[in-house]
Structure 1
Amino acid sequence: MTAALADQARLDLPAHWPAALSPRALAAVDAPTPFLAVDLTTVADRYAAFTAAIPGVSTFYAMKCNSAEDVLGTLAALGSSFEVASIGELRMLQEIGVDASEVLYSNPIKPPAAIAEARRAGLWRFGFDSEGELHKLAQYAPGAAVYIRLRVDDSTSLFPLSRKFGAEAHEARALMLLARELGLRPYGVTFHVGSQCSTTSAWRQAVAAAGRLLAALHEDGVHLEMLDLGGGFPARYVERVPSLAQIADTLNAALDELLPYRPALLAAEPGRHLVAESAVMVASVLGREVRAGENWLYLDVGAYNGMMETQQTVQQWRFPLWTSRTDHALVPHLPFTVTGPSCDSSDTMFYGVNLPSTIEVGDRLYIGSAGAYTLSYASHFNGFPPPEPVVVGGPHAHVPAARQVTP
């Protein structure tokens, strides 16, 4: 065994892998694969840590990354508010009793019918970044409060988001004044530093840009009531990311130093940060082959039914992996290409990942930190079903939707 293989074989589970989702606990779950094992205690713990780290900032969970009813119910019970990107998401929240007046509709471009329905439901705060959207809002939600999305530097994130949305700084002031002319209520400013942001300085730069807009609008007699820090707060996978404490230190200092005044509402829209580490994707090995000297492992879950982010990042996204094999940490490990069950050859998730040399058909692969953008992306491509959520840890009293298992 080479030194590199020996080092890999001795690796322990990542420290952030929840105890309720340990290999031993998952082995006791009697459910057909693929399934997403969810620990709601981790969701609750992440929420508590986030709200404590940045005092005075209200949390609006970005439900697009995981809209499972058990997750939504857990966060709602803890006092979280929510951010939606569609009328469908708002309807899901209404079904579990969330008051629409406590929800932010941050998608900058919305269908007219969705705007009208949301307004009728009691939602009164809408995001925008363009003149066209303002005219829609004035027509379908007259008098509504509006907040502008600024384009900021998101080059240090794994998923940059600035090309599709965000008003340039020099446009934002005029747009907010136009909102006032159209009878809308200039309410706030928001930004997004990009999903899975890797540097704390991105938040400081973004707060500085928002502060300049606050100051400029103040000269126009517009006093904004909300600063929304958006999302981008990273979760822990394999690569190192800034800790919540480091991000909080940067944000707290920026809010103190770079704003002309503090809006009444400071908001944030964490998504991945709250839920990614709360779940493990459990898949079974369907086949093991050697092709042109390369070890291939075929699973019953792939990019199209749960692991799409591995495709979006061109295999640059590394998830923590473990297996059901009792000799996982004892035998030599070999590099494997790990692919999905569909007939599409691009349905391949991992290249060169080290797994036990003894792995075989029927064994299970555990993909950690899989609670974000898995169920929400999953499709029935090729007739393969999306993974089912299975609750294996945490409070269950308010969770009717997911199958509940106590190992």
Structure 2
Amino acid sequence: MAEAPGGLQIIERRADADRIGEWATAAVTPCLYFDPAVAVDRYQRWRSAFPDADAYYAVKANPEPRLIRRLVRAGASFDVASPAEIALCLAEGADPSTLSYGNTVKKAADIRYAYRSGVRLFVFDSQDELLKLAEHAPGSAVFCRLLASSAGAQWPLNGKFGCTSDMAVDLLTQAPRLGLRPVGVSFHVGSQQLDPGRWEPSVAAAARVFGALGAAGIELSMLNVGGGFPVEYTSPVPPIERYAEAITAAVERHFDTCPRLAAEPGRYVAAAAGVLRAEVVLVSRKAFDDDTRWVYLDVGRFGGLAETEGEAIRYQLVTPHDGGPDGAVVLAGPTCDSVDILYQRTAYRLPLALRPGDTVDILAAGAYTATYASVGFNGFPPLPTVCIGDDE
């Protein structure tokens, strides 16, 4: 991506006071400004909290090539979900042995591509997926994803992925007979998980699977505790060290011999490194006596802010008029779809001086924004990313 010209300094206002750096004044909005160095610093903090765990960065959070390149240099592994993500990681220098194909729903052709590319670690959660892996990725290491509760998560993942513990035991028992190497289990307790204790029930379930497989003569070695590690948007979140303590304590309680831990941090690494700069398109009211203004931005749910669905992720906003008189607002995007409303129930207040043409900076927007942007709904282009900072 092109370098941004100099401009406005924005320091992300968060409990850990990560400095975003010098952010450019965009000639065109909306635009995501992203500093890979900040993301790598976040990755290193995660590693410090989990020194004995393998960190598979969830590429889907932000696949910016400069970030992938720097994470490769930092020794990261990668959770990939498609051939395109595999190709990206390999092109930026990742060794295929550092890739985990973490999508439980894969075409046979995609499995073949991954296998030919050298990937040898795959997840599954169903009989048919296991059979596909046996046919198209013979001899590979496989792990089974368990169903897990997302209670406490702001972006739940209930239902679509994972299987029951009983099914996992049966499928992992079949794996050696199919020419595959069963290595462990995984689960995911939901994205932006605010409860550090939420991992324990799934750790306990995983321990039971390990025990059942051990009784059958199959020794599992890896426990992948997924992602979900939160970042601060408009409310404080527990520090990453508290999550590490809770997860480690749960593993020690439920396992006689602790397995090798793996995890898939994505949001935690990428979010703090991005500021999404938008422009106010319109400020209006629905009646002359209505105290609530509608503020329409040039970015909305279809342009990268999909996680505002259900007002789940509540971003912090910065405007040029902060500090002056303010009032209640409804925030909406620019498209002709009535669901393109960001915040209507959540109490947001913005300066009364806000006018069309003003900028609004959306903080901690480095994860799940550019990758969620549509390819052209209503003719609006995808959200561009501009990298700032040195490209080491």
Alignment deviations for residues 351-381 of structure 1 (CA, whole Å, 9 cap, x no partner): 2410111011111001111111100010121
Return the letter of the residue paired with 2:306. M
Cα distance in 1 for residues equivalent to 2:210 and 2:164: 14
The answer to whether the 8 A contact 1:324-1:366 is kept is: no
Cα distance in 2 for residues equivalent to 1:270 and 1:13: 22
Q: Please report how far the alpha carbon of residue 160 of structure 1 lies from its aligned counterpart in structure 2 after TM superposition.
A: 2.2
Whether 2:154 is the aligned partner of 1:140: answer no
Counterparts of 1:7-406 in structure 2 under 5 Å? 13-16=13-16, 18-21=18-21, 25-26=22-23, 28-263=24-259, 265-292=260-287, 293=290, 294-311=292-309, 314-325=310-321, 328-329=322-323, 331-351=324-344, 352-379=347-374, 380-393=376-389, 395-397=390-392
Return the letter of the residue paired with 1:238. T
Distance 1:185 1:19, change over 3 A: closer
Alignment deviations for residues 98-130 of structure 1 (CA, whole Å, 9 cap, x no partner): 122210001112100011111111101110011
Structure 1 residue matching 2:314: 3-state secondary structure:
coil
Alignment deviations for residues 300-332 of structure 1 (CA, whole Å, 9 cap, x no partner): 111101111112xx124311111123xx11x11
The answer to whether the 8 A contact 2:14-2:232 is kept is: no
The answer to whether the 8 A contact 1:193-1:202 is kept is: yes
Return the letter of the residue paired with 1:346. V
Q: Please report how far the alpha carbon of residue 16 of structure 1 lies from its aligned counterpart in structure 2 after TM superposition.
A: 4.8
TM-score by length of 1: 0.88
Which residue of structure 1 lines up, in the alignment, with residue 3 of structure 2? Answer: none
Return the letter of the residue paired with 2:20. A
The answer to whether the 8 A contact 1:153-1:162 is kept is: yes
Q: Please report how far the alpha carbon of residue 386 of structure 1 lies from its aligned counterpart in structure 2 after TM superposition.
A: 2.2
The answer to whether the 8 A contact 2:142-2:183 is kept is: yes
Q: Please report how far the alpha carbon of residue 261 of structure 1 lies from its aligned counterpart in structure 2 after TM superposition.
A: 1.8
Which residue of structure 1 lines up, in the alignment, with residue 4 of structure 2? Answer: none
Identity %: 39
Q: Please report how far the alpha carbon of residue 273 of structure 1 lies from its aligned counterpart in structure 2 after TM superposition.
A: 0.8
Q: Please report how far the alpha carbon of residue 283 of structure 1 lies from its aligned counterpart in structure 2 after TM superposition.
A: 0.4
Structure 1 residue matching 2:20: 3-state secondary structure:
helix
Q: Please report how far the alpha carbon of residue 18 of structure 1 lies from its aligned counterpart in structure 2 after TM superposition.
A: 4.2
> Number of residue pairs matched?
375
Cα distance in 2 for residues equivalent to 1:287 and 1:153: 41
Return the letter of the residue paired with 2:301. A
Cα distance in 2 for residues equivalent to 1:291 and 1:321: 23
Alignment deviations for residues 330-359 of structure 1 (CA, whole Å, 9 cap, x no partner): x11111111111111221112241011101
Q: Please report how far the alpha carbon of residue 17 of structure 1 lies from its aligned counterpart in structure 2 after TM superposition.
A: 5.9
Structure 1 residue matching 2:199: 3-state secondary structure:
helix
Alignment deviations for residues 134-155 of structure 1 (CA, whole Å, 9 cap, x no partner): 1111111112111011112222
The answer to whether the 8 A contact 1:215-1:260 is kept is: no
Distance 1:41 1:47, change over 3 A: same
Distance 1:226 1:103, change over 3 A: same
Structure 2 residue matching 1:303: 3-state secondary structure:
coil
Return the letter of the residue paired with 1:338. L
The answer to whether the 8 A contact 1:228-1:266 is kept is: yes
Q: Please report how far the alpha carbon of residue 14 of structure 1 lies from its aligned counterpart in structure 2 after TM superposition.
A: 3.6
Q: Please report how far the alpha carbon of residue 396 of structure 1 lies from its aligned counterpart in structure 2 after TM superposition.
A: 1.6
**Runs of 5+ unmatched residues, structure 2:** 1-11
Cα distance in 2 for residues equivalent to 1:39 and 1:120: 33
Cα distance in 1 for residues equivalent to 2:177 and 2:209: 18
Q: Please report how far the alpha carbon of residue 15 of structure 1 lies from its aligned counterpart in structure 2 after TM superposition.
A: 4.1
The answer to whether the 8 A contact 2:274-2:365 is kept is: yes
What RMSD in Å do the two structures reach over aligned CA positions?
1.6
